[in-house]
């Protein structure tokens, strides 16, 4: 196998589209939320710190994707045989080496980006992310809800770490600049959206992968509760998401931000309602895979919605 094929296999292994999602989320929050709120008051070195934290997030996620595939080899032979990389294109030992290198790099970049003495909790938090991704791959993903919650929390963390990097822990949630509370609200809004939509997608993926998971003793939600109960679970979260988004539109309307309302209704709320309707009739792995892709599209439109606030903040 030539070097070009190895490089292509490596990028597939780390799931580069997901890494782009992480980087895009953080870039949008930095440039479309944080910078407009703090116009003219951004401290020197903020951009350098942001770039290091973004790379740290990407490296830690890439390492997590590698170790997940490492422990998923047997299951993937059933669920996704055409997408297998480890053992086929990349040696198992090298996969472990890459996991370790990327994870350590992510932690080191975090320590360089923030003051590890005053903001040690961010370094500890990213170490916890590495450990959670390891235990997710080994154990959590095979259990009811635990794995889904872990991934959803880690998704939300990609936004919260950017927010928390701007302030010390003691004043991150109040005081200081008048825009601080506004920034906190945006961080919670988008972290909450990321958390809920990730819970939805992880549950849908569990149903899609039920065949391989059953064979290798996993106890995921559709296996333990049944597919119909899992559909109800997903429907509840989607309904909650739609309801919360409608409430947010009510507040945005009071500010006269019509483009934001139109965008959210057409590109987030309507697709979420469509996903809910298609979920009811879904029955085959192909249909659940389609729903998973629709959910990913919802993640993208949700991330891009930050761009609207750039013109209003």
> Which DSSP string corresponds to 144-156?
TTHHHHHHHHHHH
Q: List % helix, strand, coil for the chain (3-state, nearest 5).
A: 80, 0, 20
Q: What is the pLDDT of residues 202-228, one digit of tens each?
A: 999 999 988 877 877 788 999 999 999
Are residues 111 and 187 in contact, defined by beta-carbon separation less than 8 angstroms?
no
**What's the confidence (pLDDT) of residue 39?**
80
Task: Determine which of 91-100, 161-170, 227-236, 278-287 has the lowest per-residue pLDDT on average.
Answer: 161-170
- Reading phi first (left if > 0) and then psi (alpha if -120 to 50, else beta), residue 304 is in alpha
- Could you tell me where the DSSP H helices lie in the chain? 3-13, 16-28, 35-37, 46-71, 73-79, 92-113, 120-138, 146-164, 180-208, 210-215, 221-224, 227-254, 258-264, 270-281, 285-304, 306-309
pLDDT beyond 60 at 85: yes
Mean pLDDT, residues 236-260: 92
Give the span between the Cα atoms of 24 and 155, in whole angstroms: 13
Give the span between the Cα atoms of 16 and 22, in whole angstroms: 10
- Strands, E assignment, 100-160: none
Mean pLDDT, residues 4-21: 89
A 10 A CB-CB count for 263 gives 17
**What's the confidence (pLDDT) of residue 71?**
85
Q: How confident is the model at residue 81 (pLDDT cuts 50, 70, 90)?
A: low
The pTM score is 0.92
Are residues 88 and 8 in contact, defined by beta-carbon separation less than 8 angstroms?
no
Give the angle 28-33-37 at the CA atoms, nearest 5°.
155
Residue 138 makes CB contacts below 8 A (sequence gap 6+) with 71
Give the span between the Cα atoms of 210 and 218, in whole angstroms: 9
**What's the confidence (pLDDT) of residue 169?**
60
Burial degree of 56 (CB within 10 A; 0-12, 13-18, 19+): buried
Q: How confident is the model at residue 170 (pLDDT cuts 50, 70, 90)?
A: low
Task: Determine which of 131-135, 172-176, 180-184, 206-210 has the lowest per-residue pLDDT on average.
Answer: 172-176
Q: What is the pLDDT of residues 124-149, one digit of tens each?
A: 999 999 999 999 999 998 888 999 99
């Amino acid at each position: 196998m030539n070097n070009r094929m190895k490089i292509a296999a490596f990028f597939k292994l780390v799931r580069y589209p997901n890494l782009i999602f992480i980087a895009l989320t953080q870039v949008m929050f930095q440039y479309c939320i944080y910078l407009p709120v703090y116009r003219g008051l951004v401290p020197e070195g903020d951009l350098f710190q942001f770039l290091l934290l973004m790379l740290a997030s990407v490296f830690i996620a890439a390492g997590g994707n590698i170790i997940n595939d490492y422990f998923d080899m047997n299951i993937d032979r059933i669920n996704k045989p055409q997408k297998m990389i480890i053992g086929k294109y990349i040696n198992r030992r090298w996969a472990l080496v890459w996991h370790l290198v990327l994870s350590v790099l992510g932690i080191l970049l975090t320590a360089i980006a923030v003051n590890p003495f005053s903001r040690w909790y961010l370094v500890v938090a990213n170490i916890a992310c590495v450990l959670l991704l390891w235990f997710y791959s080994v154990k959590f993903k095979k259990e009811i809800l635990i794995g889904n919650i872990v991934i959803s929390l880690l998704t939300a963390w990609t936004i919260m770490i950017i927010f928390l990097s701007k302030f010390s822990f003691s004043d991150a949630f109040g005081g200081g600049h008048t825009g601080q509370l506004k920034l906190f609200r945006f961080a919670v809004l988008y972290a909450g959206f990321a958390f809920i939509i990730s819970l939805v997608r992880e549950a849908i993926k569990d149903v899609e992968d039920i065949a391989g998971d059953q064979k290798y003793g996993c106890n995921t939600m559709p296996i333990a509760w049944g597919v119909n109960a899992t559909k109800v679970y997903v429907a509840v979260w989607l309904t909650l998401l739609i309801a919360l988004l409608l409430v947010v539109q009510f507040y945005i309307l009071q500010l006269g931000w019509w483009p934001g309302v139109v965008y959210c209704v057409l590109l987030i709320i309507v697709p979420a309602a469509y996903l809910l309707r298609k979920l009811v009739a879904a029955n085959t792995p192909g249909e659940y895979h389609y729903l998973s892709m629709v959910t990913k599209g919802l993640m993208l439109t949700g991330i891009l919605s930050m761009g609207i606030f750039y013109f209003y903040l």
